[in-house]
Amino acid sequence: MHRLIRPLVVALSTTAMFVGSLSAGASSLAPVAVLKGPSYQFSAVTSVASDARHVWVTNTGANTVTEFSAVSGLVEHVFKSKKFGFQGPTRVVDDGTHVWVVNGEGNSVTEISATTSRLVAVFKGAAYKLKGTSEVVSNGTDVWILNQHGSALSELNASTGSFLKTEKVGNGINRAFVMTIDARHLWLGGNGVNAVSELDASSGSFVRLMKGSAYRLNGVNAVASDGRHLWVANARSNSVTEISASTGKFVALIKGARYGFDIITSLVTNGTEVLATNLSTAANLGYSVTEFSATTGSLLRLFKGARYGFNQPDAAALGTNSENHAWIANIGNATVTELTLH
């Protein structure tokens, strides 16, 4: 699953501002805002998504979704469960036109307009064959929903919301754990089998299975793609596998103490940078976020320390290349950390 420059102006008394330093490869300070307080109504934040204008956060504990400005950080809306059909909202994605929210306890998906912030539809019921929904991805054309506790996929047309198909995950992965999408590829990660399956993003047809020692996969825990590269987080070996999106061939294994990888919980990219959130079990490391180059894999920055407000960082979102902002969802203390990169 994102992030990072603009002048940061926070006008809310409920928002704490911190300025912190970078631990690697930095020539200047990185402004940091830790967003919190009653106006945001954050509660067990489990997912975050962004486009050029808005940031969306799922509040699983309150059955709400918070929208705030990507420019000012000011709250724009807090969407309530009754109207929007939220029941345990756990994942949110923004494809620039549509915002899709997975309701893990409601076996449903809510669609919101990314431009007007109005409810478009709540997809549920036998017609959509949604049950045990856990993940959703969209490339603006195709929407894929992981359901039946990771064993099946449902596809929707992003423009019309019409149901297209449901199919078994299969092809070497009985239950998918994570997934990502680009214009042509849909990728499914299976933790138990240390494998990643590639499907056609439009048809859902199987393309290839990537597994085994050649890919250095070890505890697949997150995936991200920009259309050229696929990155796979390995929770057990604290590393990231890079794979060519076009050929499916192994490119590199990104690892080493300087990256600070420690139980990677999410990956996100904007095509220039890749961010990894680290849950970290080692007391001397603490929670952190790693930024590395999407082109070379070289470390750009390692954000760590109390000043960043990280507390069980579980998800991240990236702005576009021109904006250079990142937002980190901290499920441990119901806050969102904003980072300005470069």
What was the pLDDT predicted at 95? 95
SS3 string of 35-74? ECCCCCCCCCEEEEEECCCEEEEEECCCCEEEEEECCCCC
What was the pLDDT predicted at 67? 98
Q: How far apart are CA 62 and CA 71, in angstroms?
A: 25
Residue 149 CB partners (closer than 8 Å, separation 6+)? 132, 134, 175
Architecture of domain 16-292+301-340: 6 Propeller (2.120)
What was the pLDDT predicted at 321? 59
334: left (phi over 0), alpha (psi -120 to 50) or beta: left
Q: What is the full per-residue pLDDT of the chain (342 aa) written as tens digits? A: 432 222 222 222 234 443 333 334 333 445 689 999 999 999 999 999 998 899 999 999 999 999 999 999 999 999 999 899 999 999 999 999 999 999 999 999 999 999 999 999 999 988 888 988 999 999 999 999 998 888 899 999 999 999 999 988 888 888 898 999 999 999 999 877 899 999 999 999 999 999 989 999 999 999 999 999 999 999 999 999 999 999 999 999 999 999 999 999 999 999 999 999 999 866 556 899 999 999 999 999 999 988 899 999 999 999 765 568 899 999 999 999 999 886
Q: How far apart are CA 317 and CA 95, in angstroms?
A: 12
Q: Are 33 and 10 in contact (CB under 8 A)?
A: yes
Q: How far apart are CA 163 and CA 158, in angstroms?
A: 10
**Domain boundaries defined on the chain:** 16-292+301-340
Closest Cα partner for 279 from 236, 228, 322?
A: 236
What was the pLDDT predicted at 17? 40
What was the pLDDT predicted at 281? 67
Distance of CA 191 to the CA centre of its chain: 17
Residues in the chain: 342
What was the pLDDT predicted at 140? 96
Q: What is the DSSP string of 67-122?
A: EEETTT--EEEEE-HHHHT-SSEEEEEE-SSEEEEEETTTTEEEEEETTT--EEEE
**Across the chain, how many H-helices and E-strands are there?**
1, 29
Q: How far apart are CA 35 and CA 327, in angstroms?
A: 10
What was the pLDDT predicted at 28? 40
pTM of the model: 0.89
